[in-house]
Amino acid sequence: MTKMPNYISTTNACKLCKPLGASLAFRGMEGTVPYLHGSQGCATYMRRYIISHFNEPIDIASSSLSEKHAVYGGAANLKLGLTNVTRKYQPQMIGIATTCLTETIGDDVPMIVKEYERETSATNRPLLVHVSTPSYSGTHMEGFHAAVTAAIDQLAQGPAVTNDTVNLLPGFVSSADYRYLAEIMADFGIPATMLPDLSTTLDGPALLEYEKIPGGGTPLASIRRMGGARATIEFGRTLGKTRTGATLLAEKFGAASHRLGLPIGISETDRFFAVLETLSGRPTPAKYQGERGRLVDAYVDGHKYGFGKKAIIYGEEDMVVGLTAFLAEIGVTPILCASGGRSGSMASAIAAATAGVLPEQPKVYEGMDFFDIAEEAENLGPDLLVGHSKGYPLARKLNIPLIRVGFPIHDRVGGQRILHLGYRGAQQLFDLVINSLIEKKQSDSPVGYSYM
């Protein structure tokens, strides 16, 4: 559903641009340098934006196009850039994403890449994966998914023999989330290929020697074998009919596709674990049953603090859907779900994820910016905001808590360590939400209660 009135201008956008998402996805592939075919500014701006969240180095190369290239085409600079990146980084792969500049001047990147491959020796040349990410269509999430899909499309090979692995395409979640997902798959005994994997590439240890490309990321050999996997799990209720990694793997190689919501909160996580039980033929390991049990116990202990509190949830569409499902099940009332994205399916996704829990569906608006959200908030009177850092000015104005989740977290440390997914993630989110509400009550109270 699109909001009314629909302003022409955008103020304080609730979305980022497509190549940023692609750069992040490529960063989660082994030995890969993200590369933007465009002018120098794009890469630098995105690096700064990403660094402020992760506090980690992220090198994104650029064709550094100048005026003459805009007129005569950027092919020569793209090739020079690929050679220079190869020389300095010795990457296993370069993930090339386009920008609005190169899309508009009409550079045919697939053709230029083919030419480059013909002109250079294969011995020292990294794999080259390319994706079209014009910033004037879609958001960073579309860019992220497009890069994942491109990597699968261009690398995954047919099943010589169907192997026992399961592909897991989580979308863009935190480094802590990727780490936890890997742990879950291992505990179920399911050999998995998780694409991408930002668990160490954007949350690494202090080092003695600077790693040009940080270790970790989805092994390229595993991406190649994805065509032989028996199933693909893909998170993202709002992905709809777009061609994604999972649909591609199903089409090309017949891998069974399981499209699930981001497993945030008990209900959505139960759905994920049910699929894992089926795929593994095992019951949920005791460790996770324990996590779930403690989580239910915590829900009960804290339920009164949250009940009926009104929340505005904003950010990336699938993150909003998952968070809404979680908040609904702990008794918080979602009153507005907003995203800068325009998948067209956020409302139906929220209805499905909250079925049987919410007596009344919240307002769900796509194509929102923070001006729109603030305008809605005036009338809605929320008790808390749930989303990334960029909602802080609004939370401050309304004097209500902001629950920082998702990306970007630019005003706190540890954005990459926020765990959103699974029972363990829900436990952390629950404590965060309830404690924020208690803290608000406590600090607003004229009595200095030390028991709450």
Partner 1 sequence: MEEIALAARETQIYRKGEKPFEITCNKDSLAGAVSQRACVFCGSRVVLYPIADALHLVHGPIGCAVYTWDIRGALSSGPELHRLSFSTDLQERDVIFGGEKKLEAALHELIDRHSPKAAFVYSTCIVGIIGDDLEAVCRRVTEQKGIPVIPVQSEGFKGNKRSGYKAACNAMFRLIGTGDTTGISKYSINILGDFNLAGEIWMVREYFRRMGVQVVANITGDGRIDDIRRAHGAALNVVQCSGATMDLANMMEEKYGTPSIRVSYFGIEDMSEALYDVARFFKDPEMLARTSELIKEEVQKIQPELQRYKKALTGKKAAIYVGGSFKAFSLVKAFRLIGMNVVMVGSQTGTKEDYEELAQITDPGTIIVDDSNPLELTSFLKEKEVDVFVGGVKERPIAYKLGVGFCDHNHERKEALAGFAGMLNFAREVYSSVMSPVWKFVPRKEKGNDQAL
Q: Which of residues 245-274 bind partner 1 (CB under 8 A)?
A: none
Minimum distance of partner 1 from residue 308's CB (angstroms): 33
Among 4, 6, 87, 448, binds partner 1 (CB under 8 A): 87
Q: Is the dihedral of CA 346, 347, 348, 349 positive or negative?
A: positive
Find the part of the chain contacting partner 1 (CB under 8 A) among 95-103, 151-159, 352-360, 412-420: 95-103
Question: By C-alpha distance, which of 37, 24, 150 is closest to 100?
Answer: 37
Q: Does 67 bind partner 1 (CB under 8 A)?
A: yes
Q: How many residues bind partner 1 (CB under 8 A)?
A: 73
61 near partner 1 (CB under 8 A): yes
Q: Should residue 65 be labelled a site residue for partner 1 when binding is judged by CB under 8 A?
A: yes
47 part of the interface to partner 1, by CB under 8 A: yes
Q: What is the CA radius of gyration of the chain?
A: 22
Q: CB-based burial of residue 67 (10 Å sphere; 0-12 exposed, 13-18 middle, 19+ buried)? A: exposed
Residue 57 near partner 1 by CB under 8 A: yes
CB of residue 48 to partner 1, shortest distance in Å: 5
Among 1, 2, 104, 431, binds partner 1 (CB under 8 A): 104
Q: Does 287 bind partner 1 (CB under 8 A)?
A: no
- Residue 2 binds partner 1 (CB under 8 A): no
C-beta of residue 166 within 8 angstroms of C-beta of residue 230: yes
Q: Identify the burial level of 27 via C-beta atoms within 10 angstroms of its C-beta, where 0-12 means exposed, 13-18 middle and 19 or more buried.
A: buried
Select the span of 94-102, 111-119, 305-313, 426-434 touching partner 1 (CB under 8 A).
94-102
- The DSSP secondary structure of 325-389, one letter per residue, reads HHHHHTT-EEEEEE-S---S-HHHHHHHHTTTT-SSPPEEEBS-BHHHHHHHHHHH--SEEEE-G
Told to check if 51 binds partner 1 by CB under 8 A, we report yes
Q: Is 204 in the site for partner 1 (CB under 8 A)?
A: yes
The rounded distance, in Å, linking the Cα atoms of 378 and 367 is 19
Nearer Cβ to partner 1, position 44 or 247? 44
**Closest to partner 1 by CB, 88 or 243:** 88
Q: What's the CA gap between 291 and 294, in Å, rounded?
A: 5
User: Per-residue contact track with partner 1, 330 to 369, x per CB under 8 A?
Assistant: ----------x-----------------------------
Residue 331 exposed, middle or buried by CB count within 10 Å (0-12, 13-18, 19+): middle
Question: How near is the Cβ of 213 to partner 1 at its closest, in Å?
Answer: 11
List the beta strands (DSSP E) in 149-276: 166-169, 192-194, 231-235, 256-260
Tokens found for residue 319: 């993150």
CA distance 111 to 37: 14
Judged by CB under 8 A, does residue 163 bind partner 1?
Answer: no
7 is a site residue for partner 1 (CB under 8 A):
yes
Q: Residue 98: which H helix or E strand, with range? A: strand 93-98
Nearer to partner 1, 86 or 280 (CB): 86
Q: How far is the CB of 118 from partner 1 (least distance, A)?
A: 19
* Cα–Cα distance, 449 to 187 (Å, whole number): 43
Minimum CB separation from partner 1 for residue 67, in Å? 5
The distance of closest approach from Cβ of residue 217 to partner 1 in the complex, given in angstroms and rounded to an integer, is: 17
Least gap, CB of 448 to partner 1 (angstroms): 31
- 122 touches partner 1 (CB under 8 A): no
- Give the shortest CB-169-to-partner 1 separation in angstroms: 24
Selection from 38, 165, 6, 58 nearest residue 407 by Cα = 58
Does residue 237 belong to the site contacting partner 1 (CB under 8 A)?
no
CA distances to 392, 402, 406, 415, 417 from 409, rounded to whole Å, are 10, 11, 7, 5, 11
Instruction: For the beta carbon of residue 287, count every other beta carbon within 10 angstroms.
Output: 13
Does position 145 bind partner 1 by CB under 8 A?
A: no
Closer Cβ to partner 1, 310 or 392, answer by number? 392
What does the alpha-carbon distance between residue 155 and residue 412 come to, in Å, rounded to a whole number?
A: 37
Pairing of strands 32-37, 61-62: parallel
Which residue in 3, 29, 32, 35 binds partner 1 (CB under 8 A)?
35
Candidate list 1, 88, 307, 445; residue touching partner 1; CB under 8 A: 88
Among 3, 17, 261, 406, binds partner 1 (CB under 8 A): 17
Q: Which stretch binds partner 1 (CB under 8 A): 129-137, 153-161, 180-188, 294-302?
A: 129-137
